[in-house]
């Protein structure tokens, strides 16, 4: 090993070790000079370090002998034997991925003071985009059209006001928030993902993934090739909370993953806001519960005020869609903001089926209504519709 190998190489190598999560990674990272730590992993003597032993749940009272067998340390040793840290770093750099280890100059400042900082950060795009105010917009993957529209609007307005939108590039609310930010073309969007940067998950967001990387930054603490394991996502959520000044929950289920981001935000004293949803909507159960303890977010102005920014004097944009008339207006009124089926609508408006279906087709064409699998939902303004 030459002396020119930077810390990033060892941090990446440590990140690839089996059975190592953020906590163990941090313990290893702090066990000394990274080069020395790596060589101690290679020869197994890392098993003598008291902090490492505690992290692994090994006794520290007994004599700390290298020879004492620990399957984890053995597996680290086996793994390290076949890994060249310099080549590992090279693999990332040739793939166009930026890498910064905790303690190095390029390491994002937002994580430095964090209680659980990632030991290494990999990114696509420009890491210097992590300056300026940041707001996380998060929510369920299985959202309603109304939630999707709200996330889009918030993302759009915040980005336009110079606030970076942080989210997780998941389906549903996350994707809608990013789309909104991209459509505004304002402050760069920031995405934190739960897989290696070459493993695009979910595949449906492939295009969005590269758009965010282009306009802003996609980052992760996982090395290239790491699949999207279930346990990566709570860890990813803590990074979102760490990056954000304010966390806005648009729609969350009663036990949704967004609530783990909220918990992480509370631990870090970040502001949390929730968008009120319909009382009976299961998709908004979790976010509505947050309203009891946290701030209410009805539009971007609420968030901007919380950030201490003066809301831009944004004129409410004029409605661009042709206003519905006659039966169509009646049906749009009856639709409200809850998903409804054709059957519900016919029962509500007491009009013949022919009239209702024709009016719905017109409303859909005009952008007032969207339809998915027999469910009709009212659209918010379509000036944003992506």
Contact footprint for other proteins (CB under 8 A): 140-145, 147, 171-172, 202, 204, 251, 281-284, 339, 341-344, 346-347, 353-355, 357-358, 360-361, 365, 372-375, 377
Structure tokens given for 217: 């930054």
CB of 151 to other proteins, least distance (A): 12
Q: Which two tokens stand for residue 291?
A: 């309203």
Q: How far is the CB of 226 from other proteins (least distance, A)?
A: 20
d(CA 131, CA 108): 9
CA distances in angstroms from 189 to 124, 175, 242, 339, listed in the order given: 12, 11, 15, 30
C-beta of 63 vs 373, nearer to other proteins: 373
What is d(CA 101, CA 121) in angstroms, rounded to the nearest whole number? 6
- CB of 171: closest distance to other proteins in angstroms? 6
Q: Give the residue with the Cβ less far from other proteins, 115 or 352.
A: 352
Classify the phi-psi angles of 44: left when phi > 0, otherwise alpha if psi is within -120 to 50, otherwise beta: left
Q: Which is nearer to other proteins, 141 or 268 (CB)?
A: 141
- Smallest distance, other proteins to C-beta of residue 370, A: 9
**How far apart are the C-alpha atoms of 241 and 166, rounded to whole Å?**
9
**Closest distance of CB 55 from other proteins, Å:** 32
CB-nearer residue toward other proteins: 95 or 289 = 289
- Lateral strand order in the sheet of 340-341: 340-341, 375-378, 369-372
Distance of closest approach, residue 97 Cβ to other proteins, in angstroms: 26
Judging by DSSP bridges, how do beta strands 271-274 and 246-249 pair with one another? Answer: parallel
CB atoms within 10 A of CB 115: 10
Nearer to other proteins, 114 or 377 (CB): 377
User: Does residue 42 contact residue 14 with C-beta atoms inside 8 Å?
Assistant: no
Peptide linkage before 202 cis (omega within 30 of 0): yes
Nearer Cβ to other proteins (171/291): 171
Residue closer to other proteins by CB (options 6, 234) is 234
Shortest gap between Cβ of 338 and other proteins (angstroms)? 9
Alpha-carbon gap, residue 126 to 133, rounded angstroms: 16
């Amino acid at each position: 090993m030459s002396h020119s190998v930077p810390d990033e190489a060892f941090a990446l190598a440590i990140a690839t070790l089996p059975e190592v999560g953020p906590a163990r990674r941090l313990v290893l990272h702090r066990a000394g000079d990274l080069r020395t730590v790596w060589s101690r992993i290679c020869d197994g003597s890392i098993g003598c370090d008291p902090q490492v032993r505690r992290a692994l749940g090994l006794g520290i009272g007994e004599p700390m002998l290298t020879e004492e067998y620990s399957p984890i340390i053995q597996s680290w040793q086996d793994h390290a034997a076949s890994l060249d840290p310099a080549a590992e770093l090279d693999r990332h750099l040739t793939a166009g991925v930026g890498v910064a280890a905790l303690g190095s100059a390029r390491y994002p400042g937002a994580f430095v003071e964090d209680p659980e900082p990632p030991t290494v950060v990999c990114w696509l795009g420009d890491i210097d985009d992590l300056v300026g105010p940041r707001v996380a917009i998060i929510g369920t993957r299985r959202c309603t059209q109304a939630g999707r529209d709200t996330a889009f609007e918030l993302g759009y307005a915040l980005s336009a006001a110079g606030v970076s939108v942080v989210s997780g590039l998941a389906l549903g609310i996350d994707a809608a928030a990013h789309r909104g930010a991209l459509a505004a073309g304002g402050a760069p969007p920031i995405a934190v993902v739960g897989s290696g940067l070459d493993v695009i998950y979910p595949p449906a967001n492939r295009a969005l993934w590269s758009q965010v990387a282009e306009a802003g930054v996609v980052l992760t603490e996982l090395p290239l090739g790491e699949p999207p394991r279930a346990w990566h996502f709570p860890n990813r959520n803590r990074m979102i909370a760490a990056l954000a000044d304010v966390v806005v929950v648009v729609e969350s289920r009663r036990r949704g993953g967004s609530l783990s981001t909220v918990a992480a935000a509370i631990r870090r004293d970040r502001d949390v806001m929730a968008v009120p949803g319909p009382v009976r909507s299961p998709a908004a159960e979790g976010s509505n519960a947050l309203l009891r303890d946290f701030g209410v977010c009805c539009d971007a102005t609420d968030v901007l005020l919380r950030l201490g920014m003066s809301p831009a004097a944004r004129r409410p944009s004029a409605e661009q869609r042709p206003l519905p008339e006659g039966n169509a207006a009646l049906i749009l009124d009856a639709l409200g903001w809850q998903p409804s089926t054709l059957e519900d609508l016919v029962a509500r408006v007491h009009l013949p089926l022919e009239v209702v279906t024709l009016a719905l087709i017109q409303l859909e064409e005009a952008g007032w209504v969207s339809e998915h699998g027999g469910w009709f939902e009212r659209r918010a303004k379509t000036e944003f519709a992506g």
